[in-house]
Structure 1
Amino acid sequence: MDRRNNTNLSDFVLTGLTDSQELQLVLFTLFLLVYLISILGNAGMILIIHLDIQLHTPMYFFLSNLSLLDISYTNVITPKTLENLLISSKSISYMSCFTQMYFFVLLGVTECLLLSTMAYDRYVAICNPLYYPVVMSKRLCCCLVFGSYLIGLMNSTINVLFMNRLHFCDSNVIHHFFCDTSPLLALSCTDTHGTELMIFILVGSILMVSLITISVSYLSILSTILKIASTSGKQKAFSTCASHLLGVIIFYGSVIFTYLKPRKSYSLGKDQVASVFYTIVIPMLNPLIYSLRNKEVKNAVLRAMQKRRGTRPLK
């Protein structure tokens, strides 16, 4: 990136979430707690899945990758946010800003696609259980995860290349707490319609494909569950996908609210609240959602604890 060809600014200034020092200390304490829970929770999920052989299944392979994404995701945004809550100077270099945006988009798109992959996995498990071991082979699972990362990488590269063509000459103040596309587009002093259209098409296409995959998968799952005669059978089938469905609703709801609208609809307050939710809060919620509502994960934790104490583990 040749900064000199695109702007005469050496750095940007992030306005952050608030100017109140008292509120900044409160937010710092809260975000630090959320950050630590996110790192420990997701790292714990990866460790439990890795150590317990009963969790070596496609669903938990995808879940471990989701936890890895969440660890990376929160590390891209939260440390700089915590730093800016403590210091008066909230500057970020041009290169650091675009690097943060690059990895934020990469990880966000990858997580979006991984959630749709997990929906397909639940569809096969519930609607075609006899074929599940054959269809969801290790090779296919690896290809689906690799493909999610590859599409995320391509999307992020295109996004940053287009954003790097913009000029930032009137102001260097980003009205946000991290470097995101919407506030940077609002800051640019050049025509952004082409870049906005490109981002809208890319993000819209990925969201549309992902949402169609998820919707078709869950409509098929719902149809299959309704055909089950026993109430306990219905509850058992639904419990296998309830956690994932909750995670999908939370993630996609905040992303659609933030990005699938024109720049003139950008609202600093509302968009910052939504951004805090999906950049800082959701990485903490995911391990809680998938562990507290998951009997297999709970049993795996109990087996690990009993094994550590030298007692006979649960089956």
Structure 2
Amino acid sequence: MNPSFLMELFEGELNIQAFLQESQRLRLIFQTGAPVMPAGQIVQMFCEGSFVVNKYTWYRVNQNTSTAMNINSNFLTLFVTTKDSGEYKCSGYYNGTLSNSNTLNLTVVERLSNVWVSSTPKDLVSMEGQSVTLYCQAISHPPAVLWSWIRLDEQGGRQEVGIGRELTLSMASESGHYICQAYSNFLALMQQQQSPSHTVYIVYFPMTGSVYAGVAGLVLVLLAGVLLPLLLLWLWRQQAKERAGQKTLATTSAPAKGFTGPAKAPKGRSQAQAGDEGEVYMNCGETNQAYSDLCPAYMTRDDTYATLG
């Protein structure tokens, strides 16, 4: 027999075996969803094969380790979050032989939520010269987002006026309707949102001479409202200090203990002179003694003290 013919026959048998093995291999596909999905969506994987599987087992592959999932079905349905990102595969038994599927990689991206516009200050009308800042708000969004601002005119036209999550306005000519747009194309997953329109009114207020006078008067009124209470408080404190000083003076002017009243006028002086208010006369018998409080124990006679003790 020709050796080449034998070789071709052997290779043919190997190909047939490989085909049979491949036909008995399970295949994992996305029934609903795609390899990259936004959070909050439904993803359904289907484990299909050309043979009847007695029992299915699903695995989640993470860092070269497989974690079995308690699901005996050829379908796996997930309401995905970012924690569901990873690789998945399924397996099943056919005639006592375990057959494994290919792996599917699933990446879940944070969903771009609805966006809206807020402002600071929140007043509906602002004066020209005062800054009004608009903010584009979103509860959730993927890592890379392009934020832009669109101004709508009265005819329905659209004009892009800014990029970024904030837009600051200060001129009366900038009054109008504004919307915020958010766009993302992260990992080839396109997401886009547009906010409702937000109206901004900025009023022009000319500063004429009379207006300046009015503003100056308003400033004076405000200053008076601040300074007048401070002035009244200062006057009250001054009066309190004066009352405290008078009280202290009255206390120090009280007669000493054991002293019954003003001394009698010395001989040779009239009663009227001795009775002058606030005047006290005394005789000093010994001039070499230092002055001290008058001590009644050293009186030699009326109105005369030998020693100042």
TM-score by length of 2: 0.18
Greater RCO (Cα-Cα under 8 Å, separation 6 or more): 1
Structure whose CA Rg is larger: 2
